[in-house]
Amino acid sequence: MTHQVLPTSRPALVADRTSRGRRQPLGGYRALKSLSKVLTYTVLTALSAISVFPLLFTLSNALKSNDQMYVMPPVWIPNPLMIEHTVTAWNALPFTLYTFNTLVITILSMAGHLLSGSLVAFGFSRLRGPGRDKLFALLLATMMLPGQVTIIPDYIMMKYLGWLDTFLPLIVPSFFGGGAFFIFLLRQFMLGISTELDDAARIDGCSSWRIYWSIVLPLIKPALGAVAIFAFVGNWNDFFYPLIFLNQQSKFTIALGLRLYQLQVFHTSFRTHSVQGLLGLSLVVLLPVVIVFFFAQKQFIQGITFTGLKG
Amino acid sequence: MAAISNETRQRTGKTSVLARREAIEMYICLAPWLIGVVVFTLGPMLASVVLSFMDWKLLKPPVWVGLDNFVSIFTSDPLFTKALVNTAYYTGFSVPLQLITAFLVAMLLNTRVRGLAIYRTIFYIPSVFSGVAVAIMWIWILHPNAGLLNQGLGILGIQGPNWLGNPQWAMPAMIIMSLWGGIGSPMVILLAGLQGVPQHLYEAAEVDGANGWHKLRHITLPMMSPVIFFSLVVGIVGSFQVFGASYILTGGGPNYATYTMVLKIYQNGFTQFRMGYATAQAWILFLILVTFTYLQFRLSRRWVYYETETVGKR
């Protein structure tokens, strides 16, 4: 198997090396090559296992019965497979409501990021005016700013606006260019698109707004996809901001609900709580992200590569 | 459009009507961000400067205390130093280990392996997960008896520690967790960078008799240095803000072994409501990050190689 993988375009090079006095016989070189191939695949397989095992381990433990949890050596495939713990856990706290809350926040915030992000990026990449480059430098600077620096004044402001314990602090900033990173990503993408179409449209009397809406937006669909996905995953997983802005349990997001369940799980007074349930819930919370990832893997990889290489 | 307004400007020598209209349109486009940056970033930043010189328990009116907050942070709050050291410890191990592992994996994947896309997906999966759910998974993975990690170590004949219960091992446990989730993104970026290194450089080096180490040292690393630099800056800034992991896994314990800066800011600000004091610490965190980033950019001139730069100079 490994011999077939050998690069076929190399014989000239091999001959070159041996003729230069390295007394290595051709067979030895080949053996070395295939050995390194074997090694490569071994390491890659081991790393794949490390990547995946924590997930399988969690899944396996979520489905175990109480007596199988601590059995040594561990049982990998539980018998019986018990989904009951997870179902009970889901109903022990209003997780359906938490999911609904999270979806409302996630979808509205995503819409905000897409609309305002693309419009601002359009301004930064397609229109010219005084002070544009300085403002862009400001945008880059805010990208580096850790949220903790402004979180306390933000909190105080939200308190005076009466927005605490509502979804507004988690949604409204995204409509005002909240994610500097997204603006940056979209702007870079727009810069990579030729302006010929814009110019033609302008000559035909098209306004900037129509160019934005009918020409540029359709062309940057891949980047919009990446932003949508990053915004979705970011909001879905977010813990810090909901923790600070939301208080009442009826307003909780799914991440806060999971944390609440975790706090209660080791108290014996909660009969409905179990470690299996906790693990099962955490997998349920991750499930939408897994689904999004498998459907939009290309955008994920492209988005990351794009910001990493062109940044 | 750009070309047109340029021409117009050259011909007339002054800003044309068209250019002015374009500038107005630009500001309309930027307006959402401009409002947002003033209301949610610059304004609060300014407010937080003032706040950091105040004693404010939120329920009582604020009192101006001058530099008192900063003085007590450094003289009478041993937990701050503890949090700072912990955060540096976490960053100092987690970021280099993430980058080195990510680089090695990317190098392996770049050797024309079969099933590249599948491996890349598998290695990337952990990094789409984050937050509470992952930390909760790891509570059980790190369990002293039933946990995956100690069972794995047991197969190798090693008796694993009580990771989260032992002050010595809690932080290493957090670093291990960060490796699981933190390799994917730099790996994808580094792999794309590796694929972009022109093949002819390696071929030329091979003709000159370069071995694998020479190629790595004199072609791969210099060509990759901007990408490595980017990952390093992003990694350090991100890891200095670690919060969820220690909040969920240990709550900062045992014995404050995993107590981080942001956890401290959070507790001072949002459980004790010492707003001024928490803000002062947030500013120190910010200044540390700015200094770090600045130093990295300074140092980067020595080791980061930008291809276009040298071309431009000649």
The answer to whether the Cβ–Cβ distance between A289 and B121 falls below 8 Å is no
Yes or no, beta carbons of A41 and B113 under 8 Å apart? yes
Q: How far is A302 from chain B (nearest CA, A)?
A: 9
Instruction: Write down the pLDDT at residue B289.
Output: 87
Do the beta carbons of residue A165 and residue A248 sit within 8 Å? yes
pLDDT at residue B233 is higher than 90:
no
Q: β-strand B54-55 against B63-64: which pairing, if any?
A: antiparallel
Structure tokens at B13: 């020598």
Q: Taking residues B264-280, report their average pLDDT.
A: 90
Q: Which residue has the tokens 């994947």?
A: B109
Q: What is the mean pLDDT of residues B86-106?
A: 94
- With a pLDDT cut of 70, the percent of chain A lying above it is 87
Residue A225, token pair as written in the block = 């996809």
Contact between residue B183 and residue B105 where contact means Cβ atoms under 8 Å apart: yes
CB-based contacts of A64, cutoff 8 Å, min separation 6: A75, A78, A82, A276
Residues A52 and B141: their CA atoms lie apart, in Å, by 13
pLDDT the model gives residue B314: 32
In the prediction, which pLDDT does A19 show? 44
Nearest to B224 by CA among B92, B104, B313: B104
Helix (H) or strand (E) holding A159: helix A148-161
Q: What angle do CA A65, B251, A258 make, to 5 degrees?
A: 45
List CB contacts (< 8 A) between B278 and chain A. Answer: 152
Residue from B5, B28, B33 whose CB has the most chain A CBs within 10 Å, to mutate: B33
Tell if the CB–CB gap between B22 and A127 is shorter than 8 Å: yes
Closest CA to A292 of A249, A213, A230, A206: A230
**Least confidently predicted of A55-69, A129-143, B13-27:** B13-27
Whether B209 and A20 lie within 8 Å, measured CB to CB: yes
Q: Give pLDDT, residue A308.
A: 63
For residue A21, pLDDT over 60 is answered with no
CA distance A300 to chain B (A): 9
Between residues A127 and A79, the one the model is more confident about: A127
Q: pLDDT tens digit string along B40-60?
A: 888 888 888 888 898 888 778
**What's the pLDDT at B280?**
92
- Inter-chain touch A237–B283, beta carbons under 8 Å: no
C-beta separation of A217 from A118 below 8 A: yes
Inter-chain contact A308–B5, Cβ cutoff 8 Å? no
Chain segment B148-172, per-residue pLDDT in tens: 888 888 888 888 888 988 899 999 9
Res A268: pLDDT: 63
Please report where in the chains the tokens 């400001």 appear, as a residue.
Answer: A138
| H or E segment and range at residue A144 | helix A132-144
> Which residues in chain A are closer than 8 Å to B124, comparing Cβ atoms?
300-301
Asked if A148's CB is within 8 angstroms of B282's CB, the reply is: yes
Please state the domain extents for chain B.
2-51, 71-313
Task: Take residue A24 and report the two structure tokens written for it.
Answer: 């290595």
Q: What is the mean pLDDT of residues A96-122?
A: 93
| CB contact (8 A) between residue B188 and residue A50 | no
Residues of chain B with pLDDT > 70: what percent? 93
b/e A70-99 (16+ beta carbons within 10 angstroms → b): eeeebeeebeeebeebbebbbebbebeebb
pTM of the model: 0.84
Instruction: Search chain A and give the residue with CA nearest B185.
Output: A304
Q: B61: how many CB neighbours lie within 10 A of its CB?
A: 8
Contact A149 B35 (CB under 8 A): no
Tell me the HSE value of A125 on the side-chain side, using a 13 A CA sphere: 25
Average pLDDT value over all residues in chain A: 82
What's the pLDDT score for residue B89?
95
Lowest-confidence region among A69-83, A175-189, A286-300, B1-15: B1-15
Q: Tell me, what's the ipTM?
A: 0.83
Q: How close, in Å, is residue B91 to chain A by CA atoms? A: 15
Tens of pLDDT along A43-59? Answer: 889 889 988 999 998 89
DSSP reduced 3-state for B55: strand
Contact A55, B180 (CB under 8 A): no
> A10 pLDDT exceeds 60?
no
What is the number of H-type helices and E-type strands within chain B?
17, 2
In Å, how far is A84's CA from the nearest CA of chain B?
19
pLDDT of residue A106: 94
CATH of domain A88-310: 1.10.3720.10
Angstrom distance (rounded) from CA B147 to CA A224: 41
Helix and strand numbers (H, E) in chain A are 17, 0
Pick from A22-36, A92-106, A218-232, B169-183: least confident: A22-36
Residues of A in contact with B146 (CB under 8 A): 61, 69-70, 74
- Alpha carbons A94 and A291: distance in angstroms, whole number: 23
A310: which chain B residues are within 8 Å (Cβ-Cβ)? none
Q: How far is CA B187 from CA A298, B125, B202, in A?
A: 15, 12, 21
CA distance B186 to B308: 23
Residue B167: cis peptide before it, omega within 30 degrees of 0: no
Mean pLDDT of B244-259: 89
Q: And the tokens for B154? A: 């047991």
Residue A35: count of CB within 10 angstroms of its CB: 11
Averaged pLDDT for residues B122-139? 87
What whole-number percentage of chain A has pLDDT above 90? 22
Nearest to A308 among B36, B112, B192 (CB): B192
**Residues of chain A contacting B58 with CB distance shorter than 8 Å:** 156
Q: Name the residue in chain B with its Cα closest to that of A170.
A: B40
B41 vs B54: CA distance, rounded Å = 20
Residue B87 and residue B231: Cα distance in Å, rounded?
A: 19
Tokens 């091979």 sit at which residue?
B206
Residue A271 pLDDT > 70: no
DSSP element (H, E) containing B283: helix B275-303
Max CA separation in chain A (angstroms): 81
Query: Dihedral, CA atoms, A33, A39, A41, A43, nearest 10 degrees?
Result: -150
State the pLDDT confidence band at B307, using cuts at 50, 70 and 90: low
Which residue from A289, A41, A292, A4 is spatially nearest to B119, judged by alpha carbons? A41
For A252-270, the pLDDT digits (tens) are 999 999 999 888 887 666 6
B306 or A160, greater pLDDT: A160
Which of B132, B156, B190, B207 is most worth mutating to test chain A (most A CB atoms within 10 A of its CB)? B132
The residues facing B63 across adjacent strands are B55
**Overall fold of domain B71-313:** MetI-like fold (1.10.3720)
Q: Give the type of residue at B314.
A: R
pLDDT at A104: 95
C-alpha B263/C-alpha A92 separation (Å) is 29
pLDDT tens by residue, A184-200: 888 888 888 888 888 88
Residues from chain A contacting residue B4 (CB–CB below 8 Å): 199, 202
Binned at pLDDT 50, 70 and 90, residue A302 comes out as confident
**Which tokens sit at B264?**
């401290």
- Residue A26 confidence class, pLDDT cut points 50, 70, 90: low
Residues of chain A with CATH 1.10.3720.10: 88-310
Alpha-carbon separation of residue B3 from A107, B13, B237 (angstroms) = 39, 15, 40
Percentages of chain B per state (helix, strand, coil), in multiples of 5: 75, 0, 25
